Amino acid sequence: MKRIVVVVLVGALAAALGLLHWLVRVDAYGDFAGPAFVDIPRGTSSWAIGRQLAKAGVLRSPVLYQVARLTRPGKGAQAGEYAFTRPATPAQVFARLAAGDIFHLDVVVPEGSTMFDIAGQVERAGLGSAAAFLREASSPRLIRDLAPSAPSLEGYLFPATYRFGRRSTVGDVCRAMTAQFRRVHAELGMVGDPGRTVTLASMVEKEARIPEERSHIAGVYAARLRKGMKLDCDPTVMYAAQLEGNWTGAIRRTDLNSSSRYNTYQNPGLPPGPIANPGRDSLRAALNPLETADLYFVAQPGGTGAHVFSKDLAAHDKAVSSYRRDLRRRK
């Protein structure tokens, strides 16, 4: 009789363990209606997490979360918001929480992006409208402590890959990007109002195609500034047209004649602010421009991205003619 009882108990236990194994490791919750977002604040108890998951329809029961925890002893859920888009087993759900597989929206800012480019990416990521981002990027309260002379945050939205939560605002985006600029600013030893350095770096960023030419291009602009020459920088003309809503994708005669303060063909000195957001190497080049007698540069024939640098206008005109002949040939 005792043997029969033992056999029955062992069988019942095996059946229970088998059921738990099936429920935790095999059974993806068939009634999951998703998608579902579950936000777990820091310090939330495991029972509270189980209840949140069950309430969101991710798990069949809060108890299953506790059982799933036993599959990974010593592990716990990491705080953050999680997105669930398809049915999953309790073990899979707990594994994601333990790994910190937090939901995020990526915004990738390449070097040389303008605030208009970034605004479009922010909108596509679902973090707010492009118009709202541009308003925030022109907010005096954000600019004041960063670069008092700047007309906007253009130049200070540092190029990098950023991750944001679903509830992040355009203000959060601007603050994250300017915080990264501050870190790089400190690493490079920049002091005081960074306006001139960042403005020069933005022009270098838009002109340079080959990394090793950055310092040389910065040196040409520095030499022209010392001589009181206009900078004649095409990207500033393009940016002026973009600000005025007139950019068509190619520089026109009307763009070159524009009275915009950003048009360096018409106005001496640097433009009133950056024309793009430069990366670390362009900032470094603007801080340490090459000492050079060159005053001109134009793209080298062949489309390699390299430039021909010249000390006088005659040599520059010759290089421009060579570039134009090559351009016609390649077209």
- What pLDDT does 299 receive? 95
- What pLDDT does 16 receive? 47
Residue 132 DSSP SS3: helix
Using alpha carbons only, what angle is made at residue 232 by residues 290 and 205, rounded to the nearest 5 degrees? Answer: 50
The CATH code for residues 23-99 is 3.30.1490.480
Range 246-257 average pLDDT: 91
Residue 190 has pLDDT above 90, yes or no: no
Residue 294 DSSP SS3: coil
DSSP state at residue 302: T
- What pLDDT does 160 receive? 97
Q: Which one, of 105, 110, 175, 164, lies nearest residue 136 by Cα?
A: 175
Cα separation, 323 vs 313, whole angstroms: 15
Mean pLDDT of the chain, nearest integer: 90
CB 118 within 8 A of CB 109: yes
- What pLDDT does 8 receive? 46
pTM given for the model: 0.83
Residues 123, 118, 133, 165, CA torsion sign: positive
Q: How confident is the model at residue 137 (pLDDT cuts 50, 70, 90)?
A: very high
Residues of the chain with CATH 3.30.1490.480: 23-99
- What pLDDT does 1 receive? 62
Range 295-314 average pLDDT: 95
Q: Are strands 80-84 and 36-40 parallel, antiparallel or unpaired?
A: antiparallel
